[in-house]
Amino acid sequence: MTAVCEPAVYEKVALIGLGLIAGSMAWAMKRDGTAGEVRGYARSAESREMTRRLGFCDVVCDDLAEVVQDADLIVLATPVGVMGRVAETIAPHLKPGAVVIDVGSVKRTVIEEVAPHIPEGVHFVPCHPMAGTEHSGPASGFASLFDNRWCLIVPVEGTPEAEVARLESYWQRLGARTERMEPEHHDLVCAVVSHVPHLIAYTMVGVADDLRRVSDQEVIKFSAAGFRDFTRIAASDPTMWRDVFLTNKEATLEILGRFTEELFALQRAIRTGDGEQLHAYFTRTRAIRRGILQAGQDTDKPDFGRTR
Ligand SMILES: NC(=O)C1=CN([C@@H]2O[C@H](COP(=O)(O)OP(=O)(O)OC[C@H]3O[C@@H](n4cnc5c(N)ncnc54)[C@H](O)[C@@H]3O)[C@@H](O)[C@H]2O)C=CC1
Ligand SMILES: O=C(O)C(=O)Cc1ccc(O)cc1
């Protein structure tokens, strides 16, 4: 971990949308002084009160213009569907030289909707921390969320290299590893590793719920690890995930198309008793998991080492 005495990367940071990601960023900034001052904006009085009680922001505001005033770094941490509107509202109040980032799960649509509102002299650098849980709201954040997880940085054309490099060191101070990516590629990768898997989990839990011959009691009582993981993922925030699928439509539909083709092939193999095909398929997928483990890339740590 970084030494406590390193100077702040940004003097004043404004967080918009005080939920899991903003809360975790605030706790992680507090952990090693990555920011001089952290301000937070929440729409609801309940979220503002909770944030004050938890103490992860130095100032809690109910006004967007006030929260971004004088801020060096502004973080859009709302569901992706409202980021464009938030950017439009804060635009006249941003100070020259400020950096605006978003942490949304989708990049191409967010860039299309946010970038046009960013004034000359303000830099917009889209980011996506590949870390999260099924929990949401201001009480769900924790400092170690980003430790050893990837944060994808998706710079738009014309952003000075120094601003992108500064943001990379910011995320590294929060514990993350960083990698740069093009928006379209980002959205395709995320459709494969995150968005479609979430959709499958939502569907499987829905199917179990619909199946009247299997009672809810039995689902809870007999669920083994695989189904439990599905139920955890399917408990994720409905607004956030609605927005993810509506804004990453193209990549999601492409991967979903491939997924259903493979599923039909496996369905056929089961119906026709083609054990060889099933065995060969499962052998190939097992090798992928083993490859991940060998590369030391399984950084999953569901709730271990949670610290505030
Ligand atoms: N939950 C996760 O695992 C991850 C989420 N993300 C992305 O980060 C962003 C935030 O997600 P979370 O922190 O998980 O969500 P969250 O639901 O915990 O927090 C979002 C907050 O934004 C607020 N909000 C909604 N509309 C707003 C508006 N118009 N103005 C101001 N505030 C508004 C909500 O009240 C909520 O408090 C999303 O765009 C999501 O795609 C990125 C990586 C992981
Ligand atoms: O909780 C999980 O399993 C996740 O997959 C967390 C997550 C959700 C959304 C993202 O954009 C990135 C990470």
- Alpha carbon distance 139, 52 (integer Å): 11
Proximal ligand: closest to the CA of 244: 1
CB count within 10 Å of CB 109 equals 22
Atom of ligand 2 nearest to the CA of 236: 1
Inside any domain, residue 60: yes
Per-residue pLDDT, averaged over 129-154, amounts to 97
Are 51 and 147 in the same domain?
Answer: yes
Are 167 and 134 in the same domain?
Answer: yes
| pLDDT single digits (tens) 274-297 | 999 999 999 999 998 888 888 876
Inside any domain, residue 44: yes
Q: Kindly state if the Cβ of 104 falls inside 6 Å of ligand 1.
A: yes
Q: Kindly state if the Cβ of 252 falls inside 6 Å of ligand 2.
A: no
Gap from CA of 131 to ligand 2 centroid (Å): 6
pLDDT for 285 equals 94
Are 141 and 250 in the same domain?
Answer: no
Residue % of the chain over a pLDDT of 90: 84
pTM here is 0.94
Are 174 and 223 in the same domain?
Answer: no
| pLDDT single digits (tens) 192-227 | 999 999 999 999 999 988 887 767 777 777 777 788
Laid out side by side, the sheet with 150-153 consists of: 127-129, 150-153, 177-180
Q: Kindly state if the Cβ of 105 falls inside 6 Å of ligand 2.
A: yes
- Assign residue 72 the CATH number of its domain: 3.40.50.720
Are 213 and 117 in the same domain?
Answer: no
Are 277 and 217 in the same domain?
Answer: yes
ipTM: 0.98
Q: How many CA atoms lie within 13 A of 177 on its CB side?
A: 5
Q: Between vectors from CA 88 to CA 84 and to CA 94, what angle results, nearest 5°?
A: 120
Q: In total, how many domains does the chain have?
A: 2
Are 177 and 191 in the same domain?
Answer: no
Full residue range of the structural domain in which residue 138 is found = 10-181
